[in-house]
Each structure stands twice: as C-alpha cells, then as structure tokens.
Amino acid sequence: MKKTGIITILNVNNYGAELQAFALHHKLKLMGFDNEIINYLYYKNPEYRSETASRPLIKTSFKNKLKDIAIKWIDKYSAFRYPEIAKKRRQRFHDFHRKHSSLSRVYKSYSELYGAKLDYENYIVGSDQVWNPNNGTNLAPYFLTFAPKKSNKISFASSFGVGEINESYYPKYKEWINNLDHIGTRETSGVELINKITGRRVEHVVDPTLLLSKNEWEELMIPYTDKEPYILLFIFKRNRYAEELAYKIQKKTGFKIIRVCKNEMPLESDDKILNIRDFGPLEFLGLYSGANIVLTTSFHGSVFSLIFEKPFYTITPASKNNNSRQESLMTMMNLNERLLREGDVVNLENLYRIDFNDVKKRLGGHIESSLKYLRKALN
C-alpha cells in the first residue's frame, strides 16, 4: 500500500493545531490510507533550530520579533512560576500524540528535513496557517519542496490566514504553489488568491477537524465531570470585550464562566472566572462537549462549537482585517450574525437561535466533497 506523509503545524501547545493535525491523520487511517505525520518542528517550538535557509520570505518586523520573544519568555516564566500546572499540561499534550498519532522521527531544522531520505509516495501539507506570509520562517516546506519530484504532492485545507498578499510576493508563491499536484484550501479567499496568482483550479475544502463526526470526537474525549451549567471562554489572551459579554450572558442565564487557557498564567479575573490551565487536547474536547454556551476568538473554537452544536459567538478584533478564516466559515454556514467585532452590541434574545439541522446539512455537502477530493488526490 502507498504510504503518505503529512506535514503541518503541531507540537506548539495549541489545541487547534494538535487536533487538526490528528484529525487528518486519523481520518486517512479510517479511509484505509497508511500514513504518518512528518514531525517537522514549527519555528515557534523551543527546540526548533533556525538557520540561514529557514529565514522567512518577508522580513519579520521588529514588533513581531519582540512579540515572539515576549511569548517565549512568558511561557518560560509561567512554567517556572507554576511548574506543576506546566508539567501536567505538557504531559497531556505529549500523551495525546503518543497514544493517538503516528509520528515520524523529529526534524528540528530546515536542513534536517531537506537532508532526510524520505520515501513516502504521497505527501500532504495539511491545515492551519501554513502559508501565512507573516510566519517568521521559510514556508517552502509547507509547499512540499522537500518531497521527491516524482512523488504525489497534495495540499488539504492549507490556509494563508490572510485575505490578501502583496503582489511583489506573487512570483515566489506561484513557484511554490506550482510544486503541488493537487490544491485544496480552507477559505474562499484562499481559492480566489491561488487562482489569481497561478490561474489553477483549486478545491475549497473543510478544516480536517470537521472530517470527524461529533460521535467520533466524543469517543476520544475525556469528559468534564462538573455538571453545573457553564459558559466556555476559549480565548488566547486577555479580551475585555469577551469577558464583559460573558458576564452579560451570565447575568441572563445564571451560568458560571470557565476559561480554558493556552498558558499557565492566571488572570486578574480568576476570582470571577474559573481558569483551567492544565488541560490537554482530550480534556479540552470534554470541556467543549459539556459547555452550554461558547465565546471564542479562535477559528478552531468556532469549528468545535459547530461540531458539538453549541450556541456560540466568534469575536474578532475591531482593528484588524485578517479575519478571512472566520468570515469564510460563518458565510459557508449562513451564521454571519455569530461573527462579532469587538465593540459590537449583541442582542442576547437570539442567544440560542442557531438552526443546527441547517448547519449539519450545509456541513454534510462540504465534508463529502472534501473527502471526494482527498480520495481522488490519493488514488
């Protein structure tokens, strides 16, 4: 049987990244395709070794460099300040992949990956913002330029993370994209962008997490045992608008508020919000499954709200225009009213007004066409 290697973003202490990587790998197994994840460390992983060859296409701004440094130091400080929480969280993420994912050896640098003698017949670049021009690394691996020329090279749900790219970078992107034999991207803006850059036909496919059903995710999850109703906050950093909206919903419903956090640092609102800081991917799924209402700033937070059929709002920054991922998903599901910009006034009388039967119908067609694309590309 032909073997497939998948490259994507993982090992970054992020629920969405780990679960989307697992989902594509697991779905391919269920479909009968022998595959493993190529364990190429993302540049934000502390063990990744930067090299001259791994420099990004677009020079990282001083502001973004400072941001990356600050995030690394916050993670280090929080792990030092709360070692037991950090240890438990790391172990849960590690155990998740150890038990449920097939991973290759670790490639800690660009040169290690390109120097490896890989013998997969199919290569897939998976989901997440692997093609984002603002990533602080060389994107070439995520266009499968390390794969042997005669191999079958596929993208599935790969995302630019932005709606537009400066035209001066079109030639390099065209070169990279044309290395792929089959192209499937996650957003409508991505379809339009690739067509504009290359003129090639592109499939609009769903995020891999949507390839697994609610029941399949529930079979994996570790249930959250507290039966008291709760509002789930899934946000990456402090967001006063989201917190204030949670308090308004709490006043209306009487539900408590739980925030599932990316790092181990407590928040000022710890006395009002239960901050869970040590959950792994499977505990995260259980928390989602048990939630009554969800507020999120995350793309995958929106996706899991749809999968688990939870009333939700997705919150985007008022000052940014790079919300193409959320906008594409909400338009596809006819749920644009669930996409908020910070500062929007929300009518809580519509809190539960989501027709999940309609959502399932819309998702069903997109999922089937996405699976059809995968089967055709791999055979």
pLDDT digits over 11-56, tens only? 999 999 999 999 999 999 999 999 999 999 999 998 999 999 999 9
Whether the pLDDT of residue 322 is over 80: the answer is no
| pTM given for the model | 0.94
The pLDDT score that the predictor gives to residue 302 is 97
User: Which residues 6+ apart lie within 8 Å of 90 measured at CB?
Assistant: 13
Distance of CA 297 to the CA centre of its chain: 12
Q: Is the pLDDT confidence value at 142 over 70?
A: yes
Confidence check: pLDDT of 206 > 90:
yes
Both 54 and 202 in a single domain?
yes
**Same domain as 335, residue 233:** yes
% helix, strand, coil for the chain, step of 5: 45, 15, 35
Q: Let me know whether 329 and 207 are in one domain.
A: no
Query: Same structural domain for residues 269 and 339?
Result: yes
Residue 265 has pLDDT above 70, yes or no: no
Q: How far is CA 86 from the centre of its chain?
A: 21
Residues 180 and 305 placed together within one structural domain of the fold: no
**CATH at 73:** 3.40.50
Higher pLDDT, 262 or 110: 110
Average pLDDT over residues 102-123: 97
73 membership: H or E segment, kind and range: helix 62-81
pLDDT tens-digit map of 279-293 = 999 999 999 999 999
> What pLDDT sits at residue 325?
86
Percent of the chain with pLDDT strictly greater than 90: 81
- What is the residue range of 285's domain? 214-362
Q: What is the pLDDT of residue 78?
A: 73
Q: The CATH number of the domain where 253 resides is what?
A: 3.40.50.2000
Of the pLDDT bands very low, low, confident and very high (cuts 50, 70, 90), residue 71 is low
Per-residue pLDDT, averaged over 132-152, amounts to: 96
Q: Are residues 112 and 241 in the same domain?
A: no
Q: 149: exposed, middle or buried (C-beta count within 10 Å: 0-12, 13-18, 19+)?
A: exposed
Number of domains the chain contains:
2
Residues 50 and 145 in one domain: yes
Q: How confident is the model at residue 311 (pLDDT cuts 50, 70, 90)?
A: very high
CB 167 within 8 A of CB 136: no
**DSSP letters of 200-226?**
---EE---GGGGS-HHHHHHH------
- 208/226 same-domain check: no
Partner residues linked to 122 by β-bridges: 4, 152
* 142 lies in the same domain as 257: no
Q: Are residues 262 and 182 in the same domain?
A: no
Each residue's pLDDT tens digit, 228-251 = 999 999 998 888 999 999 999 999
Residue 1 has pLDDT above 60, yes or no: no
Based on the fold, state whether residues 222 and 347 are members of the same structural domain. Answer: yes
pLDDT at 158: 98
Q: Are residues 238 and 176 in the same domain?
A: no
